[in-house]
Copies of this chain bind each other. A is one copy, B any other.
Amino acid sequence: MSASPDQAAALAAGELKNLLKGGLSGLDEATLGRLLAGAAAAPESEDPDAWLSLLGGSLDGAARERLRAAKRSLAERALGSGSSATEATSAGRLAALRNELMRRGVAGFLVPRADEHQGEYVPPRAERLAWLTGFTGSAGVAVVLAEKAAVFVDGRYTLQVRTQVDTRLFEPCHSAELPAEQWIAANLPKGGVLGYDPWLHTLDGVARLKEAVEKAGGSLEALADNPLDAVWSDQPAPPIAPVVPHDLAHAGKPAADKRQELAAKLAADGIDAAVLSLPDSIAWLLNIRGADVPHTPLPLSFATLRQDGTVDLFIEKLKLAPGLERHLGNGVAVRAPAELGSELDRLGAAKARVLVDPATAPSWVFDRLAAAGVKPVKGDDPCALPKACKNPVEIAGTRTAHRRDGAAVSRFLCWLERETARRAVTELEAAARLHEFRRENPLYRDLSFDTIAGAGPNGAIVHYRSTEKTNRALAAGEIFLLDSGAQYLDGTTDITRTMIIGHVPEGAPGAEMRDRFTRVLKGHIALATARFPKGTSGSQLDALARAALWQAGLDYDHGTGHGVGSYLGVHEGPQRISKLPNRVGLEPGMIVSNEPGYYKAGAYGIRIENLVVVVPAEIPGAERELRGFETLTLAPIDRRLVDASLLTRDEVAWLDAYHARVRAEVTPLVDAETAAWLAGATAPIG
């Protein structure tokens, strides 16, 4: 929770003194050191100088340059030493951790890829799994025992883990086939203590672990501090990036109103206070945005919301952009992160009824409250549902953002068709070009995730990220899958298009590709046109998107739709369209993706993804309260891959109407060449 002293001292005192000369009023050496270390641990922003606003005062050009250089040097040092293990460094790190465990008398320790907020993107400081094992996937956990160690990853990463991890040190396991819990039950020595960091596991997760450990006749113990951190001498500092207001023009509802509405609900449920551990919940509630992790404008922080509508925000104060405290208002007290514990103690002493989410909050919160004498009320994060149901301003914003994003994608698709007709374009070049089109927009702030640009067989790797090593040229007759999105101030986008490259002669693309593409499209249309009663969950609708593939004995191994935030996470809950059971009804204002796909290993991948927003469905004579989807995403779907003979009349009508809408809404925003291309790309097929 606090910057490591090693890291804060990473710049020599002399250097810091020197930097302070440039007119940084009110900053002392220690604070400046902390700020620089934090800035170095934050992701590079579109405006690389944004962090300088946190220094206060007016800086002259020379001072700015000195500060930039100092941050750059720290960031480079971090990159050199604090990053993923290699075969050369992993053994030493593992040995050091085992020594530390022995010193503490614990038989083993869990190293999840997780931070205190269970985030999808975590700051460098929380990349403990990568530091120890070399594995850089977005999900996984290592279990380290005295004699054995294993790393558990899901189906997306079973190949990657073997290329990144020294398998003589860590047994690589597919978590669906051999869950960590089962390995623990089989390998923990009887009577052994398995330690874990209670900041990095949820209560639900701990309950599962406890069962496994008890099966092995051992015990599970929350460790007061993380033994890996103790041996990671150059662990990066917590990130420090500006936390800024999210304007009412985009947020649509004053934060004070949100606080009051949620507080009234807490009061009605007899809850005195709720603990918020999800930064996107806090960002939504307080109408603020941060920049602590890549691609999602999160302010890493904790908060408590009380029955009277007041909030304590536990956050590194150096992160607050000038004026932010005024934006937060009188109802929000800004407190240091380390004070969360004493606030929980106070709630415990007051015998308060405290709501905590067992699926997302660190188990540490439950432990601390229990120690303070109260058993928390387990329940969903109270922000999750109201955040998911976008208000009219947010919906209007996302429509505008999607129109602009559709223009950028259309310009890119036109460019791609022109360029690939005359020369080789690579995956990385294509992704970079699309990025350029998007960043021309003044409301653009970031990509919403790393672009997936998979040509030919690379498209079949669902979570593919192109690298210099795998970069492939887009070859004529091959399929190119492009999944990308952006963070605009007025909305978050996420779109996948699958294109056939180059001039397509008669008979090509092959019948199989067109059959698969058309089946994916049928699923996409079935979901886009679905109507369903109030209370219907995404898991009830999932099969509609798969049925056409199932008829041919095909399927895809990912969900059909995820929730999307409003200038927030491109993945958010609580709604979801997937095979996994989910009881959350799809309510008006919820944004979800509609992205069925098909993947042929070693050959190609197909995915058609639009974002949609849940709307009330007006049906004459309806006897129930019905919902439907309005498609937000606006860009052509490659007609050359559609086999119209497989479509019903209604499906053809949908595709033609969608394309007509794309043409009408996007044409005014693009250049003449793109407009001309768009006219052809959106012509009716019916």
Residues of A in contact with B (beta carbons under 8 Å apart): 530-533, 536, 539-544, 546-547, 550-555, 579, 581-583, 617, 619-624, 626, 648
Contact = CB atoms under 8 A, between A and B. Distances in A.
A621 B543 contact: no
Q: Give the interface SS of chain A, mostly helix, strand, loop or mixed.
A: loop
Residue among A531, A543, A555 with most chain B CB within 10 A: A543
Going nearest first, the 6 A-B pairs with the smallest beta carbon separation are A553-B622, A581-B581, A553-B619, A531-B550, A540-B543, A553-B626
A271 B530 CA distance: 47
A553 to B, nearest CB: 2
A422 to B, nearest CB: 36
A581 B539 contact: yes
7 contacts: A533-B550, A540-B579, A550-B626, A553-B619, A554-B623, A581-B582, A581-B583
Given A553-B621, A581-B582, 4 more contacts: A532-B550, A543-B544, A552-B621, A552-B622
A130 to B, nearest CB: 32
Contacts of A582: 581
A530 B544 contact: no
Contact of A555 (B539, B621, B624): B624
Contacts of A617: 553
B554 A543 contact: no
Contacts of A621: 552-553
A530 B542 contact: no
Nearest to A515: B621
Nearest to A215: B270
A532 B552 CA distance: 10
B579 A550 contact: no
A582 B580 CA distance: 10
A175 B90 CA distance: 59
A554 B624 contact: yes
Contacts of A551: 531, 619
A606 to B, nearest CB: 14
A85 B45 CA distance: 75
Contact of A531 (B531, B544, B553): B553
Nearest to A617: B553
A547 B552 CA distance: 21
A25 B626 CA distance: 70
Nearest to A598: B623
Given A530-B547, A539-B539, A543-B541, A554 B622 contact: yes
A368 to B, nearest CB: 23
Contacts of A542: 540
B623 A553 contact: yes
Nearest to A600: B623
Contacts of A648: 648
Contacts of A544: 543-544, 547
Nearest to A621: B553
A334 to B, nearest CB: 36
Given A617-B553, A619-B552, A532 B539 contact: no
B547 A533 contact: no
Nearest to A619: B553
A530 B553 CA distance: 11
Nearest to A543: B540
A98 B568 CA distance: 59
Nearest to A541: B543
A180 to B, nearest CB: 20
Nearest to A533: B555
A539 B532 CA distance: 15
A555 B536 CA distance: 12
Contacts of A533: 550, 555
A550 B540 CA distance: 13
A550 B582 CA distance: 20
A552 B530 CA distance: 11
A540 to B, nearest CB: 5
A617 B549 CA distance: 13
A553 B624 contact: yes
Nearest to A648: B648
Nearest to A535: B579
A111 to B, nearest CB: 29
Contacts of A554: 622-624
A263 to B, nearest CB: 22
A557 to B, nearest CB: 10
Contacts of A539: 539-540, 581
Contacts of A531: 550-551, 553
A522 B533 CA distance: 18
A531 B547 CA distance: 7
A582 B539 CA distance: 11
Interface centre among A530, A541, A582, A624 (most CB of B within 10 A): A624
A532 B543 contact: yes
Nearest to A618: B553
A538 B536 CA distance: 15
Nearest to A578: B540
Contacts of A553: 531, 617, 619-624, 626
A632 B66 CA distance: 81
A599 to B, nearest CB: 10
A582 B543 CA distance: 14
Contacts of A536: 543, 579
A622 B555 CA distance: 10
A629 B551 CA distance: 12
Nearest to A551: B531
A532 B623 CA distance: 31
